Each structure stands twice: as structure tokens, then as C-alpha cells.
Amino acid sequence: MTAADRPLAGPPRRFRPLRETVVPIRVPVPLASTQGTLALDLEPRHDPPAAASPAGRAAGDVVPIDRRWRGDVEQWSHRFAQAAVEIVGGDRPVSQLLRWTTSAVYADLERRARLVAQAGGHGAAQGRVQPVRPKVLSVRTCFLDRGVVESGIHVRYGERSRALAARFELRAPRREEAPRWICTALDWS
């Protein structure tokens, strides 16, 4: 009888399952809540703006602002910021914010979207599915004038946070158009 024909002596060896011996290349990332559709509605409202009340100011405001006007501007700032972080993340084309940005802010958004796409190995604005979607959590505004506001924006990326600072100015480019907010500065930190 050769060594190959002999039965193995002792109890059978137990092998660890394959999953315990394989080291994962990527750590699984939890998915954040979905933002819903990517519709973008930054058109100005057609109801008349509320008049500024002479009553007190919010902390940081230079001029007194009506509560309704503040709420409308904060909502608009929130929608703008959400669109901006989705552009940089590759979910939206940068052209969606063309009417609401200056050329310098537009160029910066375009550059950031391109750099993130190159780093991630995908094309910019292709509507890719991100493992973690950015979500704007809060917007705080400071009115320097009725038509000039600066916003501090808190953005959440999964477990990480980021801050944005934006400056918006109310402008009427042509006679027939209603005034609209334009982002004149957008700083990422």
C-alpha cells in the first residue's frame, strides 16, 4: 500500500470559510437617504415679495428683514446649494445653474465637477449613482441689504460634513425679466 492509498489518520481537518480569509479591497459604505428627483426649480416666485418690517433684526443682519422674505431667500439658497453639490458630485450638469451664477462661479463649478470626475474615473454630469449622496442640512443667512445676502451652508456627505459660503445678489438683467438671485461668490471649505 502506498502513501496515497492509506486513509488519513485522526479527525478531519476543518478549513475556515473563504469569506474569513479574504480581505476586502473596499470598505462597504452605507447609502444615504435619496434626495428624490433631480428637478431644479430656481425660477422666481410670481407673488409680490413681502415688505420689510421695521421690527428687529436677526443676529448678524445689517438691515431689518421681514420673516417671510428671509424664509423665501433661505429656501432658494437651500435649493441652489443642493444643486451645486450635486453638480460637483456628478449628478447634474453645470449648465443647470448658468442663469443663477456669475461667470466666475460657473467656471469654478465646472472645474470642480471635472476634477471630481477625473479623480473618480467617471465623466462629469453623467448622472452616476454615488455611494453617498450629498444633502444640505441647514442654511443660515445674513442680510447685508434687502438685495444682498450671504449664506452659511452645512452639507452632509454620509458621515462627513462640509461647509459652503455663498453670496447672492438680487438682479434684474433685462427690463422684461423679473429680478432674480445671482450667486456672485461660492466658497468651499
pLDDT in tens, 32-48: 444 445 555 666 666 65
Q: Per-residue pLDDT averaged across 176-181, rounded?
A: 79
| Lowest model confidence (mean pLDDT) among 69-73, 93-97, 99-103 | 69-73
And the C-alpha cell for 8? 488519513
Position 33 scores a pLDDT of 47
Spell out the domain ranges in the chain. 58-188
For the CA atoms of 97, 99, 102, 105, what is the dihedral angle to 10 degrees? Answer: 0
pLDDT over 80 at 59, yes or no: no
What is the rounded average pLDDT for all residues in the chain?
A: 77
Q: Please state which of the four CATH numbers 3.50.4, 3.30.70, 3.10.450, 3.30.160 is assigned to the domain occupying 58-188.
A: 3.10.450
Q: How far apart are CA 94 and CA 106, in angstroms?
A: 7
Q: Per-residue pLDDT averaged across 41-65, rounded?
A: 59
And the C-alpha cell for 97? 445653474
Contact between 63 and 52 under an 8 Å Cβ cutoff? The reply is yes
